[in-house]
Structure 1
């Protein structure tokens, strides 16, 4: 199979959005917590545009979203509501009070897109990129590297811990996997952007310094599990309930920071 065809198979646009895609946040700095038969996923991000990007991704998966300023200046906490849709994710990832990647953990474009939206960055010259893990998640580093290189994208582990992608061609491949730049992301913040000079720096600065507004919750359409044929692997795909309500906010009109 050619590399281009393989990348197309695993790109963010190749499959329907699924609640299981939030595993991309958990291999990064995200956290999952349980309450009864429900669970929620949360992550702290360092820029306002990431709040908008994640809100759009959560809404596309039928997940309610809220955010608030984090304890670290200029950072924001983004989280889903508690929902039974995320309970299987918590079951797979939680070991006691901590998270741990399940055996055979794999990445695809959708999971990578969420990870990059929360904790990815591109070097100013566009010839390198970084995917950040949680500060105390060294045990996630090796599974993350294996899953990443399985997508024909080479990377190295760095301090942080982080995955470091070096070279324009590798960054371009990463861009093909994660899909188009989110609407609110500044030019140069997303892999595949051709320019990341002074203009992008100015845009990034204005986006990151935007004054937060009051906490807002975004409601997505109610979702129900997709039908799974006998013997077919349930990948957590979900589809909209026809009786569900339309989303209140999207990536373009979400009232975020």
Structure 2
């Protein structure tokens, strides 16, 4: 039997700032006349659905669309309530990690939903291959919440932070909580 973490995604109220977990992965934010929008292209429809559910829990509207390549994409409505998040994660047209950012449990859960998957004995959190300057700061951000990762694939198409060791994987699982209630999610979720 595992002990419930006091700092778990399952014990915190959803907040718009948690959508930063999508930006830590391959998500993007754009600013438009009606506010900002956050979107993320994912590998499977169940991921897009779970992300939309979490977005709606913050009080924003969300929808699933398709990327130009035909992959599922979860995105928020354009809303002025997202403008501050967009500004914190942008330096002009370039994605950046806010100074001293540490992912909340719900932000980390969204990161797992967007790009997490097991890789042998490790668990991997995907990074944005188009924003290489974010990789080091995101590794540091994970360390701030007690999960020390290893940066892998930084020069390729699939950069990621690898979480190795039972203690770190358990910490990740305790933080993000259980998977969405769909069969495909269980195979992609962190395990101790």
Whether TM-score is above 0.5 comes out as yes
TM-score (normalised: structure 2): 0.89
Please say which structure displays the higher CA radius of gyration.
1
Task: Confirm or deny that 1:174 pairs with 2:168.
Answer: no
- 1:170-189: CA deviation from partner (whole Å, max 9, x where unpaired): 22221111111112252221
Where do 1:8-157 residues align within 5 Å? 8-36=5-33, 38-73=35-70, 75-123=71-119, 127-157=121-151
Report if the CA contact (8 A) 1:52-1:184 is conserved: no
Number of aligned residues = 186
2: CA distance between counterparts of 1:72 and 1:168? 36
**Pairs within 5 Å for 1:200-239:** none
Greater share of helix? 2
Work out which of the residue numbers 156, 159, 162 in structure 1 matches 2:160.
Answer: 162
Backbone CA RMSD of aligned residues: 2.0
Structure 2: gaps (5+ residues): none
Contact 2:49 / 2:64 at 8 angstroms: preserved in 1? Answer: no
Structure-2 change in CA distance of 1:76 and 1:70 (3 Å): same
Task: Name the residue aligned to 1:226.
Answer: none
Higher relative contact order (CA 8 A, sep 6+): 1
1:105/1:147 contact within 8 Å kept: yes
- The 3-state SS of whatever aligns with 2:103 is coil
Distance in 1 (CA, whole Å) between partners of 2:188 and 2:44 is 11
Q: Report the Cα distance in structure 2 between the residues aligned to 1:97 and 1:57, rounded to whole angstroms.
A: 26
- 3-state SS in 1 of match to 2:21: helix
